[in-house]
Amino acid sequence: MLTTSELKAKREKALAAAEAILAEGRAAGGLLEDAAYYRCNQHVAEADLFSRQIADAGAADEVETTRRPNGTSLAIRGDSRRITSGLEEHETHALKPEQRFADWVREHRGVEDHDLALGDYLRAMVLGAKTDAEKRALSEGTDSAGGFTVPEILSAQLIDLLRARTVAIQAGARTVPLTSDTNHVARLLTDPVPAWRSEAGAVAESDPTFGRITFSPKSLAVLIKASRELLEDSLNIRTELPRVIAGAMAVELDRVALFGSGSDPEPTGLTNVSGINEITHDAALTSYAPFVSARTKVLESNADGVSAFVLNPRDDGTLAGLADTTNQPLMKPEAIRDIPFLTSMSVPTNLGAASPPTDSIIVGGSFRHLLIGMRSEIRIEVLRERFADNLQYGFLAWLRADVAVEHAAAFSKITGISA
């Protein structure tokens, strides 16, 4: 068993590695690449594990909190430091974009950390365990059929990597951790109405109307192939394999969150929910007027403003090329100047009645009212025989998720954007 001094040394080493990655991100303009973000979270998780072990040994004293560039809290416990999720300060049924799913799993599911990267675990599923940590994780994840499930804390880390690549979540959509096949979240349909009263007069009764959101998670799957040589020899497979899986799933989750048809097995996306505001443009973009109109519709619905607009890169390029009467780049109006414009290839450009169709759509609103429900377990199976003649392995991964909207009128869609 490690001594307290040894635990502190390991924790400081992990934190130094995380700080080095953050420093590189700051030097590069404040943004981390996906692989760097994943490595940083791995080091933070290691430091968190060592801090809890130190606390269990009775070496903890009071906590002082500062802020990290990625929005999480860096807590200082005596001479130690650890990342905390801040869940105790916010509602816990839905995670904000800056809150980590892995933290929720640790706090609400009683799951312990693994001193192991997800990529190492996936490689060990094929090549066998090389370390004690891999042996313990494989033993924990072995199922009755001889396959492997991903330990819940490692699943949560993959979900966080996926969330970081999902534009709808970058826009402000919240993540609801789902704990069963059917989950319900309450929502307020109508507000109570207060009324003035005379002295000793009766108080007018006004009851709020509540409804509920039902999540019924559906399955999203992807198949990734990798050669044995790649798994054995690649120095960066520990980050690249999870990144590829998360990236593929993020693109489709983004599409469904915004544009899902609702026909089984696909969830109903935001733009197909009844009650969303619509601005019918039916022309090419020549100004920012449609965005101002979309914002106005949201504000008229008593929503809390527009957190972002999501559009296809084609339309973002059109806006960037607009010029004013002096041939200078056309500036955003004051009303929408500070609203982020986020691009996603998940936004279609094949809508409309033309042949071939070339229209697109733009979505804006208060994205905190868009909820993405996700089960915390991700299943990954290795297909050993299917690609054996090429010395390849298939990684079949699937998760279960659903989409819901708390307040449809908090969003506007601009339709008929022609090329």
Q: Are residues 10 and 116 in the same domain?
A: no
Mean pLDDT, residues 320-325 taken together: 94
φ/ψ of residue 134, rounded to 5: -65, -40
Q: Are residues 10 and 131 in the same domain?
A: no
Q: Are residues 66 and 174 in the same domain?
A: no
Q: Is residue 198 part of a domain?
A: no
Q: Are residues 176 and 236 in the same domain?
A: yes
Q: Are residues 310 and 216 in the same domain?
A: yes
Which carries the bigger pLDDT value, residue 153 or residue 297? 297
Q: Are residues 71 and 182 in the same domain?
A: no
Q: Is residue 70 part of a domain?
A: yes
Q: Which of 5-9, 167-171, 177-181, 195-199 has the highest average model confidence (pLDDT)?
A: 167-171
> Which of 34, 55, 84 is the endpoint of a domain?
84
> Which of 49, 84, 119 is the endpoint of a domain?
84
Mean pLDDT, residues 218-222 taken together: 93
Each residue's pLDDT tens digit, 258-294? 999 999 999 999 999 999 999 999 999 999 999 999 9
CATH (domain of 334)? 3.30.2400.10
pLDDT of residue 34: 52
- Confidence at 328, pLDDT banded by 50, 70, 90: very high
Q: Is residue 300 part of a domain?
A: yes
CA atoms within 13 A on the CB side of 254: 28
Q: Is residue 382 part of a domain?
A: yes
pLDDT of residue 60: 39
Task: Look at the chain and report how many structural domains it folds into.
Answer: 2
- Confidence at 89, pLDDT banded by 50, 70, 90: very low
Find out whether 404 and 368 touch, Cβ atoms under 8 Å: no
359, β-bridge pairs? 351
Mean pLDDT, residues 383-389 taken together: 84
Which residue in the block uniquely carries the two structure tokens 């700080």?
19
Give the total residue count for the chain: 419
The answer to pTM > 0.95 is no
pLDDT exceeds 80 at position 139: no
Q: Are residues 1 and 97 in the same domain?
A: no
Q: Are residues 262 and 409 in the same domain?
A: yes
Q: Are residues 369 and 244 in the same domain?
A: yes
Q: Is residue 215 part of a domain?
A: yes
Find out whether 362 and 336 touch, Cβ atoms under 8 Å: no
Q: Are residues 43 and 152 in the same domain?
A: no
Q: Are residues 32 and 150 in the same domain?
A: no
Q: Is residue 419 part of a domain?
A: yes
Q: Are residues 145 and 253 in the same domain?
A: yes
Low-confidence winner among 81-90, 204-213, 358-367 (lowest mean pLDDT): 81-90
- Confidence at 64, pLDDT banded by 50, 70, 90: very low
Question: How far apart are alpha carbons 13 and 38 in whole angstroms?
Answer: 17
Mean pLDDT, residues 79-94 taken together: 40
pLDDT of residue 69: 37
Q: Is residue 306 part of a domain?
A: yes
Find out whether 266 and 401 touch, Cβ atoms under 8 Å: no
Mean per-residue pLDDT of the chain: 80
Q: Is residue 233 part of a domain?
A: yes
Reduced to 3 states (helix: H, G, I; strand: E, B; else coil), residue 24 is helix
- Give the structural domain span for 264: 89-190+209-419
- Confidence at 220, pLDDT banded by 50, 70, 90: very high
> Which of 21, 55, 84 is the endpoint of a domain?
84
pLDDT exceeds 50 at position 59: no
- Confidence at 235, pLDDT banded by 50, 70, 90: low
Which carries the bigger pLDDT value, residue 53 or residue 277? 277
Q: Which of 116-130, 142-156, 390-404 has the highest average model confidence (pLDDT)?
A: 390-404
